[in-house]
Amino acid sequence: MLLGPRLRTLFQNPKVEPIRSTQNALVRTVRAVLAGREAGLALLEGDRLLDEALAQGLRPRAVLVSEEREERLAELVAAGVEARAVENSLLARLSSHESSQGILTLIEPPPFRRLEEFPSSPASLVLVIAGIQDPGNLGGLARSAEAAGVQAMLLDRRGSSPWNPKALRGSMGSLLRLPVVPYDDPSSLSARLASGGWRQVLARTRGAPAHTSFDWDGPIALWVTDEKGRILGEAPGLSDAFSATSIPMAPGVESLNVMVAASILLFAAGRTQERDL
């Protein structure tokens, strides 16, 4: 267990001496999470993500608060949150931000979901992410997906983790709210989507009907890949059964960032109006 009886006693007193040692158990756990060595835990940076987690009913394992933020520490302890003061310079070294926000939260992330929980309907829209390695792009994709009325985000396990601190920060809380369905094999997933009645649409850089004239009717599973579409290239013939669309661009422009392109296509699907978001 992360928290033993002695640590729980310390959490009950917000005036306890701040953590100053790099060998402290909580500090070591934070570093293990950042290094990807602590399965089942995620690290949230800043007040906004902590507040969003609490609003979603997620219970932090521990919150580390700068010793300079006494009011915030007392507020969390009064609310029953297990929070500890940490020496400001030590907390800054643990942060992935250039300037620390003065608060880090260790938390069990929301559980992954199953595709079967999201049956297709005429207004359904899911985003399938294949081969996206950059956690910042993943966070931005989640934020756009939620804003565009997506029901769930289907995520390739070989890409970036949704619980990467940079992905969580870039999502502005969306990854704590938007259902995430992991998958291992794109071919198997495509077959499951087809059997479930989903229209599978591949976002192409060029050579496909413009998104403005594309027929977005029916349940849509929009696939977005890395810039070269390598994940689909590993499964020959997979994309042959897909419809495809692209965003017309001025001559000389090679491609759009995947986050920008996906955002345009997701909103083109028009689910925000249909779902009254």
How far, in Å, are 51, 77, 101, 184 from residue 42 at the CA level? 15, 21, 17, 21
Residue 110 DSSP one-character state = P
Q: What is the pTM for the complete model shown?
A: 0.86
Is there a single domain that holds both residue 145 and residue 223?
yes
Is there a single domain that holds both residue 161 and residue 204?
yes
Please name the residues in contact with 17: beta carbons below 8 A apart, sequence gap of 6 or more.
85
Give 242's pLDDT tier (boundaries 50, 70, 90): confident
pLDDT tens per residue across span 78-131 = 999 999 999 999 999 998 776 778 999 999 999 999 999 999 999 999 999 998
Contact indicator for 129, 159 with CB cutoff of 8 Å: yes
Is there a single domain that holds both residue 142 and residue 176?
yes
Whole-number Å distance between alpha carbons of 15 and 103:
17
Is there a single domain that holds both residue 194 and residue 229?
yes
pLDDT, position 7? 43
- Compute the Cα dihedral for 160, 113, 269, 236 and give only its sign: positive
Mean pLDDT, residues 146-167 = 94
Question: Own/partner pairs for 190-197, CB < 8 Å, 24+ apart?
Answer: 190/238, 190/241, 190/242, 192/115, 193/115, 193/128, 193/221, 194/241, 196/115, 196/119, 196/120, 197/120
Torsion, Cα of 56, 62, 67, 72 (10° steps): 30
Whole-number Å distance between alpha carbons of 250 and 210:
13
Is there a single domain that holds both residue 268 and residue 215?
yes
pLDDT, position 14? 46
CATH of the domain at 159: 3.40.1280.10
Is there a single domain that holds both residue 127 and residue 87?
no
pLDDT, position 236? 54
pLDDT, position 118? 96
Query: Is 50's pLDDT higher than 90?
Result: yes
Mean per-residue pLDDT over the chain, rounded? 87
Is there a single domain that holds both residue 103 and residue 214?
no
Neighbours of 113 (CB within 10 A): 17
pLDDT, position 232? 53
CATH of the domain at 103: 3.30.1330.30
pLDDT, position 273? 56
Domain boundary residue among 91, 107, 123?
107
Q: How many domains does the chain have?
A: 2
- Listing DSSP states for 126-192 in one string gives EEEEES---HHHHHHHHHHHHHTT-SEEEEETTS--TTSHHHHHHHTTHHHHS-EEEES-HHHHHHH
Helix axes 258-268, 135-147, angle to 10 degrees: 10
3-state secondary structure of 47: helix
Residues forming a β-bridge with 202: 223, 244
Give me 121's structure tokens: 């309907």
Give 217's pLDDT tier (boundaries 50, 70, 90): very high
The range of the structural domain enclosing residue 237 comes to 115-274
pLDDT, position 142? 97
pLDDT tens per residue across span 22-46 = 999 999 999 999 888 888 899 999 9
Query: Is 277's pLDDT higher than 60?
Result: no
How far, in Å, are 17, 95, 135, 148 from residue 162 at the CA level? 34, 18, 7, 19
Domain boundary residue among 107, 126, 156?
107
Is there a single domain that holds both residue 130 and residue 242?
yes
Is there a single domain that holds both residue 126 and residue 163?
yes
pLDDT, position 3? 43
Domain boundary residue among 65, 81, 107?
107
pLDDT, position 101? 86
Whole-number Å distance between alpha carbons of 103 and 64:
6
Is there a single domain that holds both residue 134 and residue 70?
no
Mean pLDDT, residues 13-17 = 61
Mean pLDDT, residues 178-206 = 93
Is there a single domain that holds both residue 204 and residue 72?
no
Give 225's pLDDT tier (boundaries 50, 70, 90): confident
Q: How far is CA 274 from the centre of its chain?
A: 24
Query: Is 276's pLDDT higher than 50?
Result: no
Is there a single domain that holds both residue 157 and residue 257?
yes
